Amino acid sequence: MAKIELDNVSLALSNSLFGKDEYILRELSFTLNQGDRLALIGRNGAGKSTLLRLLSGVYLPTTGDIKVDGKVSALFNLSVGHRRESSGRTNMIIRTLMQGEKYEEVKAKLPEMEAYADIGRYIERPMETYSQGMAMRVTFSAATAFRPDILLMDEWLGVGDAEFRAKSAERMTEMSSSSGILVLATHNERLSMENCNLGLWIDRGRMKALGNVEEVWAQYKASMKVSSEVPQPDQMLDDSNG
Ligand SMILES: Nc1ncnc2c1ncn2[C@@H]1O[C@H](COP(=O)(O)OP(=O)(O)OP(=O)(O)O)[C@@H](O)[C@H]1O
């Protein structure tokens, strides 16, 4: 059974501009159980992607405890780890092994992954000879070939040309509904309502609200309305002039 538990987790990263550590996430505590589908909501720079990276194991918490039970698939930064000089096929094998799949299972799945990418004999050529779309087909096929217990996504993925986009959209929907836990960082309200039941609003690295996805969106949007109603400097000048 998939489970994610965060107990008072904070994360500091070094800020190269000022040469010191800065807290990006602060005092996060929540639990996600099998069946939970969480949308991460918040302004640019709030900490959504950083939280996804923490959940995927890229970062360790500076303080607090994090427990992630289940096989995790992170569908972001898909091109990281490419070996450009190696073939598409070799890259498919490397990616799936890095995701923690067993070699025998990867080998058995390879024909299906290649058929899905559908780039013909290019699959045997080095990835540095691929167009961007071809590279995405290969990476997407490998990244979504196995079903994880926990699926982490930074915005919904739409990749490739019109034909592949339709095919990949279908797979994304199937993947998100079959995974035990989904965590999706998104600015798209409709998409998060369609795919998630819970919402977590993050504001400057802190939890602002956690609960029903519709309610959390409503709270977040109301806060934006309030901040846009604060008088702007030129308005204040006009008022004081009279
Ligand atoms: N590797 C890093 N080192 C230092 N600071 C970082 C690093 N990655 C992100 N940050 C900072 O952390 C903060 C949160 O960034 P993050 O990418 O998590 O925000 P976000 O909520 O995903 O934003 P967006 O909606 O724009 O994608 C930002 O201020 C960013 O500059």
CA–centroid distance for 14 within its chain: 22
Q: Is 240 inside a domain boundary?
A: yes
> Do the beta carbons of residue 171 and residue 163 sit within 8 Å?
no
Domain boundary at 116, 147, 178, which? 147
Question: Could you tell me the pTM of the whole model?
Answer: 0.85
Look at ligand 1, atom 28, and give the residue with the nearest C-alpha: 45
Contact 47 CB / ligand 1 (< 6 Å): yes
- Predicted confidence (pLDDT) per residue in 26-40, tens digit: 999 999 999 999 999
User: Mean pLDDT lowest for which of 173-182, 186-195, 227-236?
Assistant: 227-236
Of the pLDDT bands very low, low, confident and very high (cuts 50, 70, 90), residue 68 is very high
What is the Cα 65 distance to its own chain's centre?
21
The pLDDT value recorded for residue 213 is: 97
Q: Are residues 44 and 158 in the same domain?
A: yes
3-state secondary structure of 84: coil
71 located within any domain = no
User: Which structural domain range is residue 109 located in?
Assistant: 79-147
Q: Which residues pair with 10 in a beta bridge?
A: 63
127 and 192 in a single domain? The answer is: no
Q: Is 50 in the pocket of ligand 1 (CB under 6 A)?
A: yes
111 and 220 inside one domain = no
Check if 13 has its Cβ closer than 6 Å to any atom of ligand 1. Answer: yes
CATH number of the domain encompassing residue 199: 3.40.50.300
Model confidence at 228: pLDDT above 70: no
Q: Using CA positions, which residue lies closest to atom 24 of ligand 1?
A: 44
Number of domains forming the structure of the chain: 2
Residue from 48, 58, 155, 203 whose mutation best tests the ligand 1 pocket (most atoms within 8 A of CB): 48
Q: What is the DSSP letter of 144?
A: T
pLDDT single digits (tens) 73-109: 888 877 777 899 999 999 999 999 988 899 999 999 9
